[in-house]
Structure 1
Amino acid sequence: MPQTAPSTATLILISALSILSLNMFLPSLPAMAEAFDVSYAVINVTVSGFFIVTAVLQLIIGPLSDRFGRRPILLIGLILFTIASCIATFADHLAVLLAARLVQGAVIVGSVISRAVVRDLYPPQEAAGTLGQIGMVMALAPMLGPLFGGVLDAVFGWRASFAAFAIMGIGTLLLCWFDLGETHTKRAPTFLAQFRTYPALLGAPLFWAHSLCLTFAVGAFFVFLSGAPLVVQPVFGLGSAGIGAVLGSITGGFAFGNFLSSRYATRYRLSTMMIAGRLVATGGMTVGIIGFAIGIESLWLFIPCVMSVGLGNGLTLPAGNAGALSVKPELAGSAAGMSGSLQVAGGALFTSIAGVILARFSSPTALMGLMLALILAGLAMALWVRIMEHAAD
């Protein structure tokens, strides 16, 4: 077993795998529906079911890693993901494919453990800087994943993406086996002893303020991804490629925001970075809503305003994650799992609400209004963090 802490590259790769496993195979959904002779709604369970499983698993993975260590839980999760990917590759029945896809949700272990490991290794502000570095590279995964998956589907068919998952799983497992040493050394001797420490985390307003700020920030991102295709095509007359470019614009802003976090998180308080991110996003959305309200319905106004949300999230998320994991450092895994699960659940809820509203009021102004509401809620949580910090000083 390696005795050294993992490299940042290893943490990036295990985090990226959890994102690629969600979106890389999306271009294959129509072919999968045709292959199993089912509707698109049925095959879409491979997406919605995956979301549900990852939300639940994060609540389990975090506490397990606090009790037994980061390394064994990560390796077990990667093994399950790899086996499930192999089964999905050769699945001849829909039930087998769906079951394997749900087991693939174990890959969320990479997202939870990577954040916990960073907090094990660094104090809060340095952790935020490192999370910014990881996020900067990670922002490429949502853009490149579907592109790579589309090429695989076109050349080899829908099974190729799952075969690629299996290969990635094996490679990542070997990398972690040799590079990722145990970083959590202050473990409770029993689950009962660990359970007794949970009230200090779950009863801490500071933990919930950080986690809710993250949830609202991520919620605005999900609302945009789900709502933009409904409004940009009829208003701006864009084709699929144009819609893809608009969706990618928010990710570009997110990458730059993470770059700024990696540079400045060690110089400023975490709450300062969180508030700055919320103010940037607030400013961008406000300008966009005002512009469209007075008749400037331009794509060249819409895109910069959307990018401001990505930029704001890039400033907020590393600091917010570092803050949530620092409330009770010995329970960083549990904090990572709980906050991550809350973000997934919140994203699903906000997306559903946005779908209902945008189905009736399909306009960029309505979309930006929904995003602004979530951004302002996140700003309130960031200000709450600052107030509690001042009270503790």
Structure 2
Amino acid sequence: MKRLWWFAGFFLLYELTVYLTNDMIMPGMPQVMAEFSGPSRYIGLSLSLYILGGCTLQIILGPLADRMGKRRVMLGGAAFFLLATALVPLAQSATQFLAIRFFQGMGSCFIFIGYAAIHELFDDTRAVKLTTLMGNTTVFAPLIGPVVGSAVIAVLDWRAVFVTAFVLGAIAWLGLARTMPAARPTGAVGAAPVRLLASYRAIFTNRTFMLGILVAGLAITPLTAWIGLSPAILLQHGGASYGTYIAWQCAIFIGFVLSTFAIQRMGGELPLGRLLRQGGLLALAGLGGAGFVASQPQLFIACMFVFSAGFGLFNGALVRIALTATGQSMNLTSAAMSLLYCLYIALGLELYNAVCERFGYALQAYAWCGVPVALAVCAGLFHIARGHDARQRAVLPVAA
């Protein structure tokens, strides 16, 4: 068991590095685009391409992990990420920079392998608590990334950001090589294309899974869009300082951290349905409210704080319900989840980018986009919670 916790720790470092690689460079993106004479929309496009790169390999990685084993696939993917990270500083134009960022984003394709291993190795409560804690990497990165990135860029060239990411990724790879369990590959799914297609069909036709991932993708899109567009909104067009930019990031994303820490302190079995409902109401109040108070920055930040807290409350439970609903291989289910998740986020980010570009990257334009998203997310969460509670009530008499 001790080795499993070490594996989880090094996997967490790898995941954090993948996200930090993007978030550390975000405050330097205006500098990158100035050097390469790129337009403002390339700032958001850089993140969109990075995310799209993260959904290119999932369909083949799932059966590959079943056939070859998670350990070999995970280590190979981490090595590919390190190679791409080393190539980014060599870019000579905005087009080359964006292209390499796409391939670098493929490193996130392999994150689901670690999550699949954790869901297989731990029970419901431990898996939700651990994956919720690990989900903090998506928030710690926007908190830590701008601070570290701003400090590096203030002293060195923007390329030093990727050197830092390479060092962290190398440490993570070495740790994974020493601690990741070497589970025997099954070979069953990978050896039978007909069975593989049948498994994916069962996954993609499962209503709980499809709705759960759609809601999860919608829910994280506003936070991802803020990461990708805030440099243009605050730094380029708002004239804010790096200190203001960092303060806004911390104030908005700290809500997620606090809510996930609260989940860690919950004893016994986690009430997944209740987490969905309570988190959904907070998300609706926060993100919906932000759309109406964007002209007052302090109130906007407070509302976004509430939204991120609600997201942290329901995200782990939502992903758990979606992943366990199909009854199929966790490798294949996680692969399908990662594919859809990245597609939804990338599409949503580009819609945000288009609206914000149309209105000159004004804060109000970003905030207005969140109102329909908040309504859809809250409605979806309540529907999923009803279905989950009904299934739980049906199982209890059988178990008794």
TM-score by length of 2: 0.82
Question: CA separation of 1:30/1:380 partners in 2, compared to 1, >3 Å: closer, same or farther?
Answer: closer
Q: 1:39-188 residue pairs with structure 2 within 5 A? A: 39-40=38-39, 44=43, 46-90=46-90, 100-136=100-136, 138-182=138-182, 188=188
Q: Answer yes or no: is the 8 Å Cα contact 1:18–1:108 preserved in 2.
A: yes
- What is the CA–CA distance in structure 2 between the aligned matches of 1:34 and 1:370, rounded to whole Å? 28
Q: Answer yes or no: is the 8 Å Cα contact 2:256–2:310 preserved in 1.
A: yes
* 1:331 match: 329
Q: Spell out, residue by residue over 1:309-367, the C-alpha distance to the aligned partner (whole angstroms, 9 max, x if none).
A: 10011011111122222124652233223323323322233333334445449876664
Please report the RMSD computed on the Cα atoms of aligned residues, expressed in angstroms: 3.6
Q: Answer yes or no: is the 8 Å Cα contact 2:78–2:169 preserved in 1.
A: yes
Q: Spell out, residue by residue over 1:164-208, the C-alpha distance to the aligned partner (whole angstroms, 9 max, x if none).
A: 233223211111000111357656251423333222222111111
Question: CA separation of 1:187/1:27 partners in 2, compared to 1, >3 Å: closer, same or farther?
Answer: same
When structure 1 is superposed on structure 2, of 270-279 and 106-115 the one drifting more is: 106-115
TM-score by length of 1: 0.83
Q: Answer yes or no: is the 8 Å Cα contact 2:142–2:227 preserved in 1.
A: no
Question: CA separation of 1:76/1:285 partners in 2, compared to 1, >3 Å: closer, same or farther?
Answer: closer
Q: 1:46, CA displacement in angstroms? A: 4.8
* In the alignment, structure 1 residue 306 sits paired with structure 2 residue 304: yes
- What is the CA–CA distance in structure 2 between the aligned matches of 1:339 and 1:203, rounded to whole Å? 13
* 2:18 match: 18
Question: CA separation of 1:223/1:168 partners in 2, compared to 1, >3 Å: closer, same or farther?
Answer: closer
Q: 1:229, CA displacement in angstroms? A: 6.9
* 2:377 match: 378
Q: 1:4, CA displacement in angstroms? A: 4.9
Q: Spell out, residue by residue over 1:269-310, the C-alpha distance to the aligned partner (whole angstroms, 9 max, x if none).
A: 3232122211111123455566x49xxx64432222110110
- What is the CA–CA distance in structure 1 between the aligned matches of 2:302 and 2:147, rounded to whole Å? 23
Q: Spell out, residue by residue over 1:197-248, the C-alpha distance to the aligned partner (whole angstroms, 9 max, x if none).
A: 2222221111112111201211232344456677779999955532442233
Aligned amino acid, residue 271 of structure 2:
R
* 1:340 match: 338
- What is the CA–CA distance in structure 2 between the aligned matches of 1:256 and 1:271, rounded to whole Å? 20
Question: CA separation of 1:387/1:27 partners in 2, compared to 1, >3 Å: closer, same or farther?
Answer: closer
- What is the CA–CA distance in structure 2 between the aligned matches of 1:18 and 1:361, rounded to whole Å? 30
Question: CA separation of 1:313/1:77 partners in 2, compared to 1, >3 Å: closer, same or farther?
Answer: same
- What is the CA–CA distance in structure 2 between the aligned matches of 1:109 and 1:357, rounded to whole Å? 28
* 2:316 match: 318
Q: 1:75, CA displacement in angstroms? A: 0.6
- What is the CA–CA distance in structure 2 between the aligned matches of 1:163 and 1:126, rounded to whole Å? 35
Question: CA separation of 1:343/1:168 partners in 2, compared to 1, >3 Å: closer, same or farther?
Answer: same
Q: 1:251, CA displacement in angstroms? A: 1.0
When structure 1 is superposed on structure 2, of 264-273 and 161-170 the one drifting more is: 264-273
When structure 1 is superposed on structure 2, of 247-256 and 363-372 the one drifting more is: 363-372
- What is the CA–CA distance in structure 1 between the aligned matches of 2:369 and 2:274, rounded to whole Å? 24
- What is the CA–CA distance in structure 2 between the aligned matches of 1:98 and 1:220, rounded to whole Å? 22
Q: 1:150, CA displacement in angstroms? A: 3.0
* In the alignment, structure 1 residue 247 sits paired with structure 2 residue 249: yes
Aligned amino acid, residue 250 of structure 1:
I
Question: CA separation of 1:328/1:14 partners in 2, compared to 1, >3 Å: closer, same or farther?
Answer: farther
Question: CA separation of 1:136/1:98 partners in 2, compared to 1, >3 Å: closer, same or farther?
Answer: closer
Q: Answer yes or no: is the 8 Å Cα contact 1:79–1:173 preserved in 2.
A: yes
Q: Answer yes or no: is the 8 Å Cα contact 1:152–1:158 preserved in 2.
A: yes
- What is the CA–CA distance in structure 2 between the aligned matches of 1:96 and 1:367, rounded to whole Å? 28
Q: Answer yes or no: is the 8 Å Cα contact 1:82–1:169 preserved in 2.
A: yes
Q: How many residues align?
A: 387
- What is the CA–CA distance in structure 2 between the aligned matches of 1:304 and 1:377, rounded to whole Å? 21
- What is the CA–CA distance in structure 1 between the aligned matches of 2:156 and 2:360, rounded to whole Å? 41
- What is the CA–CA distance in structure 2 between the aligned matches of 1:26 and 1:230, rounded to whole Å? 10
Question: CA separation of 1:287/1:205 partners in 2, compared to 1, >3 Å: closer, same or farther?
Answer: same
- What is the CA–CA distance in structure 1 between the aligned matches of 2:341 and 2:373, rounded to whole Å? 13
Determine helix, strand or coil for the equivalent of 1:197. Answer: helix
Q: 1:233-272 residue pairs with structure 2 within 5 A? A: 239-264=241-266, 267-272=269-274
Q: Answer yes or no: is the 8 Å Cα contact 1:12–1:138 preserved in 2.
A: no
Q: Spell out, residue by residue over 1:38-74, the C-alpha distance to the aligned partner (whole angstroms, 9 max, x if none).
A: 4346975654432221122344434432443221111
* 1:280 match: 282
Structure 2: 5+ residue runs without aligned partners? 395-400
- What is the CA–CA distance in structure 2 between the aligned matches of 1:156 and 1:225, rounded to whole Å? 22
- What is the CA–CA distance in structure 2 between the aligned matches of 1:386 and 1:222, rounded to whole Å? 25
Q: Answer yes or no: is the 8 Å Cα contact 1:25–1:146 preserved in 2.
A: yes
Aligned amino acid, residue 323 of structure 1:
I
- What is the CA–CA distance in structure 1 between the aligned matches of 2:15 and 2:164, rounded to whole Å? 16
- What is the CA–CA distance in structure 2 between the aligned matches of 1:317 and 1:265, rounded to whole Å? 18
Determine helix, strand or coil for the equivalent of 2:4. Answer: coil
